[in-house]
Structure 1
């Protein structure tokens, strides 16, 4: 059926609003006298203001207007070069730069094999199903180059994506088809959220989202009498509409708190023995550890109190409150983005199992509810448009957060998911979609890693730090500058993403760039399959239309869909997914684990022999103990005014800064000890680097903790220095580039330790959005 909640703007103006979508929400837009206007989807009860970044970003000076080649690479040819990130750029014509790049791809492909090419595409790129940078680049590399070295897992959930298949089954099924917000609103009696469910996180979703329901659900559930308990060092990790009770704890101590709560349930006979016996394996082994019979250390509330900062009596009272109620245990992505990040995810499942709640409506275990907007929703009942990426002949891969390790240590061995693997030797990185100078940790180390390759190619719409470190920069269109189809697997609205504005400068679609490049490698027809963009959109839409036909539902033609404001596709039942089916009949519906049950002790993981991830949940320490030189724990979490680093130069993102700097939150007690006042510019520093930020004082943060969101574009005061100061406030100059454990090698960028001091020097200017220096192309090159 058609959706008409964009209204009828044609009656309001001669220039109609056209539907579009983004990861932070469905919206519509139009151009009036060269200015962009945006407005949220009328059916959204709580629209995301991040769409306000579009007007200022569309024609911003940070946009890339034409193809650029780094001067040093152009003059000296491919090879390692520490000048990346410092060099000037030379503008080139499209045909010339594609000829140049085509020859370089052939050199690497034929001389070293496709296993010397890293297909670096990590990030959210576009909500469109066709102009999805990751799909486009992988399709191109598979078809034109024979494959590429890929990355697996994600920066957001790297440790849980490896752990959960061993202990709970399918990771995506758990996240996307489990406890829904409908169940929380109707049935949950108490929700304990370790790491919280911050609305800034659930405002975004891959493919877009039409209705942001989280705030309203929590408000209505709280009004009904549902209790929300927030366990976090930050009071802002649950909205005030949930009326949360804040349990302020020491960062990275959640596992200890959960263990002490389960210990209380066990010694008081409040745990569900029947559930544990029927639905789990390994409980007796874990129970011996929990009670201290295995190591002489009972994991009780008195043991946990100094580790967590939560009084023993409060821990025991918390456990008792959960008993006998429809209790939901939530663990956020953030907890597993730290050293030993597998442990809180595993222990959260054990807590829910001990309560006997897993599989019940509104109860049990809901990792990671609230982390992304499509979690907690019903799954669509028809197939979404999806671009085939082809087949990759290269078997080598890396965990996504180990890119610097790979580039700095080719041939070195490492452990991952029970196997010993070897880092490949990469000659060329081709990056389209994403900004590793946002996602990755220890940016000074990443700079060295990027200096080690022969060639770095980047498709970008703006001069991110990644583009500044590239050898060949190809300007691509912004989502508003092309046609596409928007949709998410857990949202019913399929949106015709109509082009709103012409491309900026000489920017081209990724598809057009890859098609012309594939021609130079003899693979244009195979890559394009002879289709134009419009024909591709029609082709990708057809399976969705046929899915509607098979369900005897209205199935608009592509032409009708394209002229509409979007169509609503059917969604599946709110049936609790695999965990509900498993609870109702564990023999008929076993989990996708080795035992078919919930694995409190995993024989498989134990057999790997990893000291930092044993066979059952264990307290391995926090990994972030304050020191004299770094006494504060830094929480480096997701920003409120943008998605990761996307459109950081937009107006809404800029409104969340002070004096051009990202804002760090700090407790007044910690600030007073350092002579810091509200609004001051401070320097955060540790052994890895330093950055500037503005300070906002608040009592909604635990003393001893400072919070600085990610996403401010890396802006080095002196790019030639090894550990230069980031003047803009990028916390990843401070975070540590190590894996969560040898099991998962996930990202540990959520936490680190730092010191903070007031910055009293001359304030350096923000240059992150200024295009780098460019020079005219050398005549000898143009003539040759």
Structure 2
């Protein structure tokens, strides 16, 4: 696919390749508008692509560098006006000069490099890599974060008990193996296509729907355990087991109890491949506490009749069963437990390591999962060495800013929150993915300076002191590639930068020069030179392995390069099953640890030494509350391009849609299409009600990603009129082990909104 020159908004050009986290695509200008179409080989393209055209020149885009008036006039420092202050437009030279002075006087150990990936599918223009490289090369380092909001608990628990999360999610049972071998897929939390449509580095072929269809047509039974019926596609023909949120561990324990009590557990596998089974069996059968974890015990906890639990336990032994655990289960109080208990259930069945059977963490939770890996590496921008040792678990940023010096537990360590003066955020929107946004707003008001690179006026940008406008991915060149997708993409530039927007690399190059570190940061390369460098590393790896590889110019002209993939060999778990002694797991025992002496030694009551039921604290207690499920949206990635066409078309009356069961709506006098108010002690938001029996009674589902839009930013707890559920969620860690995000679930009151309907201002630029 040739490069025939940059198309303009008033002319036409060829369709040219590009990539996004939600799919590889091609774009061209027709009649003054950008048109996008999915890659022709994608069997099930993602409609999020249609957010791009309207986003390019939207009023929400940031046109030039801006400085908050209070910071400019009164100087850096804590300021309660953040989030509601005016901004002053300045030149690039002045903005970067002010920023360089501020960086030069701030020690690296007092700078937090707050980036959260997902900003671009490109290997080079990846904002997280760019900001971390700059802070390392130009300043010597920064306070970093570890783990992710999506998988904070599993990232920590899995290495202790079986191996790295990557091995459990990306190099394990494939979708092809499910289609060919699985007889029962027991999907805790489901396998929603809206989640598997998205992957870091991009997706060229969305295969999940087709593989589930093929498996179901062959006779595979899918069982969806979750509060939302649509968390498996219709093609899976899934049997739905509605379960009270955050009680999956109780069900898993009851299933194991039924299997063990019937003598149907695989003793040979447990003896050969696990450690700690006797201690866990004592707990399971109630020998220690007098409470067998049987179906009768679990039924009132999880809302599934004991008879149905017992029947399911009897149905599993002797079948090729795959136990999957979604990200959503561990984004809640004690989220480590269902991850561990699901693994134990697969061990009880003796299925771990078999084709289409065993255990898979997060199958369907991302487009990375269930796919074969590439045989060659895809290079990323080197980030350099961080000489600052301090870090926080990613979801603990408010705790750090509000409680500098306070001690906390994490993964067997006793740590203290560092004191941070300057937060540098490039890529990501914490006012989307963090919890208890009113608390986060208070936390950001405590810092001396907040710097943000942004494409549009997100709530994070509105709380910043220095705002630097950056380009959309469509406005720059890059290389799209993922270790689990065979297509490398030459991401051609499809539009000129909006107004004065620059790419992150250009901004950091200028800043590095002002700090006397340009050569260290750039290594003498421009952006196109870096693309060539990154591509050449993959090309060299191809040639070293005996494959042909075109030079960079030929690759760029062609637009695509197909990469060879590794065989579907079941990864680490298959090798371990076949030879436990010769291919031990990277755990202390070399086996799957159903009981972990290491974790037990930490002495955490909220994460004991084996999978256990720990009753959640955030449960309905007062009059007629509902459990809120704040899951991922279907019409955008997180909050990205919420102002795009596809995202906007999904809203009702301009607001995010909340789903309720008709019985819950009727009890509150709510009709389909009404605007409702969701509220609790932490905050309140508005949403548009949609009634559905696909939501179990007692649950309201409001996806994340609607831009935070407070009606009165001067109030401590303003009403978000747009529908951001993270004004309601609790900012606490999963446990002392992982300190992961618990933003999936909380409890709320819901009522019909009867006041004057406030306008949506989330996409309007702030006052200047």
Aligned partner of 1:25 among 23, 26, 31: 23
CA offsets 1:129-163 (integer angstroms, 9 cap, x no match): 00000000000000111100000000000000000
State the alpha-carbon separation in 1 of the partners of residues 745 and 755 from structure 2: 28
Q: Which residue of 2 aligns with 1:781?
A: none
Note if 1:52 corresponds to 2:46: no
Q: Which residue of 1 aligns with 2:266?
A: 272
- Please provide the CA RMSD for this pair: 1.1
Q: Which residue of 1 aligns with 2:706?
A: 712
CA offsets 1:65-111 (integer angstroms, 9 cap, x no match): 00000000000111000100000000000011101100000111xxx
State the alpha-carbon separation in 2 of the partners of residues 625 and 392 from structure 1: 41
1:748: Cα distance to partner? 0.2
Distance 1:14 1:33, change over 3 A: closer
1:551: Cα distance to partner? 2.1
State the alpha-carbon separation in 1 of the partners of residues 576 and 685 from structure 2: 49
Aligned partner of 1:134 among 124, 128, 132: 128
1:199: Cα distance to partner? 0.3
The two structures have a TM-score, normalised by structure 2, of: 0.98
Note if 1:86 corresponds to 2:80: no
Note if 1:77 corresponds to 2:71: no
State the alpha-carbon separation in 2 of the partners of residues 457 and 670 from structure 1: 44
Q: Which residue of 2 aligns with 1:99?
A: 97
Matched residue SS, 1:64: coil
Note if 1:64 corresponds to 2:26: no
State the alpha-carbon separation in 2 of the partners of residues 435 and 724 from structure 1: 19
Matched residue SS, 1:749: coil
Q: Which residue of 2 aligns with 1:680?
A: 674
1:550: Cα distance to partner? 1.4
Matched residue SS, 1:458: strand
Q: Give the number of aligned pairs.
A: 761
Correspondence 1:305-454 to 2 at 5 A:
305-454=299-448
Correspondence 1:516-555 to 2 at 5 A:
516-555=510-549
CA offsets 1:206-238 (integer angstroms, 9 cap, x no match): 010000000010011100000000000100110
Note if 1:743 corresponds to 2:741: no
1:646: Cα distance to partner? 0.3
1:172: Cα distance to partner? 1.1
Question: Does the aligned pair in 2 maintain the 1:291–1:299 contact within 8 Å?
Answer: yes
CA offsets 1:269-300 (integer angstroms, 9 cap, x no match): 01001100100000000000001111111100
CA offsets 1:578-602 (integer angstroms, 9 cap, x no match): 0000000000100011110000000
Correspondence 1:424-503 to 2 at 5 A:
424-503=418-497
Correspondence 1:112-131 to 2 at 5 A:
113-131=107-125
Matched residue SS, 1:420: strand
Question: Does the aligned pair in 1 maintain the 2:117–2:126 contact within 8 Å?
Answer: no
Worse overlay, 196-205 or 623-632: 623-632
Aligned partner of 2:295 among 301, 317, 327: 301
Matched residue SS, 1:492: strand
State the alpha-carbon separation in 1 of the partners of residues 314 and 477 from structure 2: 55
Correspondence 1:740-779 to 2 at 5 A:
740-774=734-768
State the alpha-carbon separation in 1 of the partners of residues 137 and 619 from structure 2: 49
State the alpha-carbon separation in 2 of the partners of residues 412 and 630 from structure 1: 37
Q: Which residue of 1 aligns with 2:594?
A: 600
Question: Does the aligned pair in 1 maintain the 2:401–2:419 contact within 8 Å?
Answer: yes
Worse overlay, 13-22 or 507-516: 13-22
Question: Does the aligned pair in 2 maintain the 1:481–1:500 contact within 8 Å?
Answer: yes
Question: Does the aligned pair in 1 maintain the 2:112–2:420 contact within 8 Å?
Answer: yes
Aligned partner of 1:238 among 209, 232, 244: 232
CA offsets 1:501-552 (integer angstroms, 9 cap, x no match): 0000000010000000001111011101111111111011111001111122
1:627: Cα distance to partner? 1.7
State the alpha-carbon separation in 2 of the partners of residues 23 and 456 from structure 1: 27
1:623: Cα distance to partner? 3.2
CA offsets 1:47-79 (integer angstroms, 9 cap, x no match): 000000000101000000000000000001110
Question: Does the aligned pair in 2 maintain the 1:426–1:453 contact within 8 Å?
Answer: yes
Q: Which residue of 1 aligns with 2:724?
A: 730
Q: Which residue of 2 aligns with 1:779?
A: none
Question: Does the aligned pair in 1 maintain the 2:407–2:415 contact within 8 Å?
Answer: yes
Question: Does the aligned pair in 1 maintain the 2:12–2:31 contact within 8 Å?
Answer: no
Matched residue SS, 2:88: strand
Aligned partner of 2:684 among 679, 690, 694: 690
Matched residue SS, 1:696: strand
1:33: Cα distance to partner? 4.1
State the alpha-carbon separation in 1 of the partners of residues 589 and 624 from structure 2: 44
Question: Does the aligned pair in 2 maintain the 1:195–1:231 contact within 8 Å?
Answer: yes
1:321: Cα distance to partner? 1.3
Q: Which residue of 1 aligns with 2:141?
A: 147
Question: Does the aligned pair in 2 maintain the 1:126–1:132 contact within 8 Å?
Answer: yes
Q: Which residue of 2 aligns with 1:215?
A: 209
Note if 1:663 corresponds to 2:687: no
Aligned partner of 1:573 among 567, 574, 583: 567
Question: Does the aligned pair in 1 maintain the 2:119–2:427 contact within 8 Å?
Answer: yes
Note if 1:504 corresponds to 2:502: no
Structure 2: stretches of 5+ with no match in the other structure: none
1:14: Cα distance to partner? 5.8
State the alpha-carbon separation in 1 of the partners of residues 482 and 243 from structure 2: 35
Matched residue SS, 1:540: helix
Q: Which residue of 2 aligns with 1:777?
A: none
CA offsets 1:178-231 (integer angstroms, 9 cap, x no match): 000010000001101000000000000001000000001001110000000000
State the alpha-carbon separation in 2 of the partners of residues 605 and 551 from structure 1: 41
1:34: Cα distance to partner? 3.1
Question: Does the aligned pair in 2 maintain the 1:252–1:623 contact within 8 Å?
Answer: no
1:325: Cα distance to partner? 0.5
Matched residue SS, 1:358: coil
Question: Does the aligned pair in 2 maintain the 1:252–1:624 contact within 8 Å?
Answer: no
State the alpha-carbon separation in 1 of the partners of residues 665 and 14 from structure 2: 51
State the alpha-carbon separation in 2 of the partners of residues 682 and 701 from structure 1: 17
1:629: Cα distance to partner? 4.5
Question: Does the aligned pair in 2 maintain the 1:262–1:351 contact within 8 Å?
Answer: yes
Q: Which residue of 2 aligns with 1:282?
A: 276
1:385: Cα distance to partner? 2.4
1:123: Cα distance to partner? 3.6
Q: Which residue of 1 aligns with 2:194?
A: 200
CA offsets 1:27-61 (integer angstroms, 9 cap, x no match): 00012343111000010000000000000101000
State the alpha-carbon separation in 1 of the partners of residues 535 and 212 from structure 2: 35
Worse overlay, 27-36 or 161-170: 27-36
CA offsets 1:435-488 (integer angstroms, 9 cap, x no match): 000010000000000000000000000000000000000000000000000011
1:374: Cα distance to partner? 1.2
State the alpha-carbon separation in 2 of the partners of residues 248 and 403 from structure 1: 34
Question: Does the aligned pair in 2 maintain the 1:477–1:507 contact within 8 Å?
Answer: yes
Q: Which residue of 2 aligns with 1:654?
A: 648
Note if 1:160 corresponds to 2:154: yes
Question: Does the aligned pair in 2 maintain the 1:399–1:745 contact within 8 Å?
Answer: yes
Correspondence 1:180-191 to 2 at 5 A:
180-191=174-185
Matched residue SS, 2:105: helix
State the alpha-carbon separation in 2 of the partners of residues 525 and 249 from structure 1: 57
State the alpha-carbon separation in 2 of the partners of residues 218 and 169 from structure 1: 27
Structure 1's consecutive aligned runs of 4 or more residues displaced over 3 angstroms after TM superposition are: none
State the alpha-carbon separation in 1 of the partners of residues 559 and 468 from structure 2: 32
State the alpha-carbon separation in 1 of the partners of residues 269 and 113 from structure 2: 46
Note if 1:229 corresponds to 2:227: no
1:565: Cα distance to partner? 2.4
CA offsets 1:371-430 (integer angstroms, 9 cap, x no match): 000110011111102110000000000000000000000000000001100000000000
Question: Does the aligned pair in 2 maintain the 1:380–1:569 contact within 8 Å?
Answer: yes
State the alpha-carbon separation in 1 of the partners of residues 501 and 729 from structure 2: 34
